[in-house]
Amino acid sequence: MAATAPITIKQDPLSTYKNERPLPFCPGCGHALILNHLDKALTRLQIPPTQTVIVTDIGCVGLSDQYFATNAFHGLHGRSIAYATGIKVANPDLHVIVLMGDGGAGIGGAHLINAARRNIGITVLVFNNFNFGMTGGEHSVTTPHGAITATTRHGNPEYPLDICATVGENGAGFVFRGTSFDRDLPERIAEAIQYEGFALLDIWELCTAYFAPNNNFGRKEMLGLVETMGLDTGLLYYRNVQEYAHYMRQLSKSAKGATPLPLKPIDPEFPNQVQKKFHLVLAGSAGAKVRSAGKLVGYAGVMSGLWATQRDDYPTTVKSGHSISEIILSPDEVRYTGVRKPDALVLISQDGLKKSGRYLASMTEEDVLFTIPEFEHVETRARKVILDPKQAGIRITRTNLALLLTAAALRELNLFPMDAMEAAVRRFQGRFADQNLPVIAASAHLLPELPE
């Protein structure tokens, strides 16, 4: 088979961006008019079809992408703007054009508003024919008050959404209202496509299957509706904005090169006295740095050659209620992270006490309860060590008590040297190290009679 002379796929300039397939819409439907306007706009701009993505929503307009010889994305109802956002952020050089109906503007209202707010550089054409054409002429968010539709037989009791004001007042850079009959629509669409930020054209048109016959609604009535509703047409908002996709890419360019989430390897530097799994529970109040005190114990344990885990429990509000940290220190790998019976419980506050019932009940004479004088009389078989924060010689705050008591407990338990705690603070607490090192030092004063 002899090859004929190669010919290119499309000769520039392109005379149309549509393919050869005839449009499928009902006679008189505004969709065909708008798509021809869009074709003219694209032809004027001569953007390569490979750099153009037509994203369609659902409804009759959702069929539209199939009649263009460009990239196409046909997605779910109401989500076209969100797909377009992802496409644009992934490749900000693309021209992303969303074709959606008034139905899509309703179900996808959250995406509409937020795309406007972000000024993502996509172009949205709303094919606004005041009802759901594909499913049988039900009312939509733009159906005029009093209009007859399949779901408003007695006249629409709701008032229509002003799409242009909604996106315009929320930051959209380019907002236009017009009709499918506007002769200058190709120019306006071309301007919108060339505009950097979020551009929306609310294009009113006739649904000849449902809305037009049900409401004696023709071209003249549609133009009259603009007036009776007191709305303006033409370019309604135009501002210079920062386009979101390019901004995000710029942000990435300036951050590029830094190591993301670098490994923080820990090598054993300190000895330990832990022969078998040791279960330590810290019970205090949320927002009082209980978890961070626990984390320091874990880091110090690992720096002492142990395997550590920490499991936290706290309510969904992070600064009120209880905060429980269950820490396991072990010479071998720890798999199950739960603690049934603590070997030591550090009871820090009333919030902690409320959640400590099962720990206190399970503890035996071999276990130790570390707590403040306030809870001296809690019932438990565990040996009690009462730690009086007043002896610390530092100002006690809501956020240092947990570390103070935990450090004192560790001194008494002697699982690993306190040097390990101090080293953990220096290595892992960054700017808080200066605050926490004196707390660890002060914890020595809570145990005036150290064993031996």
Partner 1 sequence: MSKEYIDGATAIARGALAAGCDFFAGYPITPATPILLHMVNELPKVGGVGIEAEDEIGAISMCIGAAMAGARPMTATSGPGISLYSENIGLAIMGEVPLVIVNVMRMGPATGGATTPAQGDIQFVRWGTSGGYPIIALAPSSVAECYTLTMRAFDLAERFRVPVFLLVDKEMNYAMATVDIEDYVDVSVGQRPMVPQHLPEPAVVDGIRVNVVSGRPDPRLRPEETYLPYDFDPIDAPPPTSPFGGPHITRFTTSSHDEHGFLTKDAEKVGRLNEHLRAKILHHRHEMAFGLPDLQESAETLFISFGTTARAMREAIDRARAVGRSVSGLTLHTLWPVPERMILDAVSAHRRIVVAELNHGQYIREIERLVYRHAAQHRRIPPDILGLDRADGELITPEQFLSMI
Q: How far is the CB of 225 from partner 1 (least distance, A)?
A: 31
**Cβ proximity of 104 and 141 under 8 Å:** no
What tokens appear for 391 in the block?
A: 């002896």
**Cβ proximity of 337 and 311 under 8 Å:** yes
Greatest alpha-carbon span in the chain: 101
**Cβ proximity of 53 and 94 under 8 Å:** yes
C-alpha to C-alpha distance for 172 and 194, rounded to whole angstroms: 15
Alpha helices in 48-202 (DSSP H): 80-90, 102-107, 109-118, 163-169, 185-194
Place of tokens 């007859």: 148
**Cβ proximity of 406 and 325 under 8 Å:** no
What tokens appear for 418 in the block?
A: 């306190």
Burial class from Cβ neighbours inside 10 Å (0-12, 13-18, 19+) for residue 179 reads: buried
Residues 6+ apart with CB under 8 A from 182: 188
Question: Pick from 70, 63, 69: which is nearest to 95 by CA?
Answer: 70
Which bin fits 130, alpha (ψ -120 to 50), beta or left (φ > 0)? left
Backbone angles phi, psi at 435, to 5 degrees: -75, -35
What tokens appear for 422 in the block?
A: 């101090």
What tokens appear for 188 in the block?
A: 């306006």
- Cis check: omega of the bond before 448, within 30 degrees of 0: no
**200 strand-pairing partners:** 124, 175
